[in-house]
Amino acid sequence: MTERIELTAVVEATPLSQQGASEEHEPEPGGRSDLPAAPTEPPPAAPAAPAEAKAGPVPRGQVAGKEKVQPYITTAVAEAARNAVVATTPYEGGYQSLSDLIEDAIVEKVAKLQRTFNEGNPFPERPRKRIRTGRPLGR
């Protein structure tokens, strides 16, 4: 039986359709996908923020524009991810946090799924906001 642990990550709450997810995703130098591009490139135009995003101050323990997600992954995968962050932090293109690594991995995987199953287009909004959680049936 595989031991499972809880991994907490903070990811941006920007829809992938606004992030250009149908394109290949390459992490920015330093592994931070939220840092601006190198000075030789013009800065991308910022998308217009929805009116509800202009709320007051961010509550303590939260990060503006990000959402906390808590998937369960195997201990081996969690340890490998932590080791990768620590080992790559001092290098250009490395990761400064586990959240940065997880966000980049999710963006890359979703883009691949969109190319494979939806002709490279963003998936449609799901009818219910919440997805099923807990142990999958048959496991």
Residue 54: what pLDDT? 57
Quick count: other Cβ atoms within 10 Å of Cβ 109?
11
d(C-alpha 119, C-alpha 106), whole Å: 18
Which of 10-14, 22-26, 71-75 tops mean pLDDT? 71-75
Spatial separation of the C-alpha atoms in residues 110 and 73, rounded to whole Å: 18
Over the stretch 46-57, which tens digit does the pLDDT of each residue have?
A: 555 444 455 677
Q: How far apart are CA 104 and CA 68, in angstroms?
A: 15
Per-residue pLDDT tens digits for 112-133: 999 999 999 999 998 877 777 7
Specify the pLDDT at position 58.
Answer: 74
Question: pLDDT digit string (tens) for 71-100?
Answer: 899 999 999 999 999 999 999 999 999 999
pTM: 0.55
Q: What is the mean pLDDT of residues 27-39?
A: 47
Residue 74's Cα: distance from chain center in Å? 18
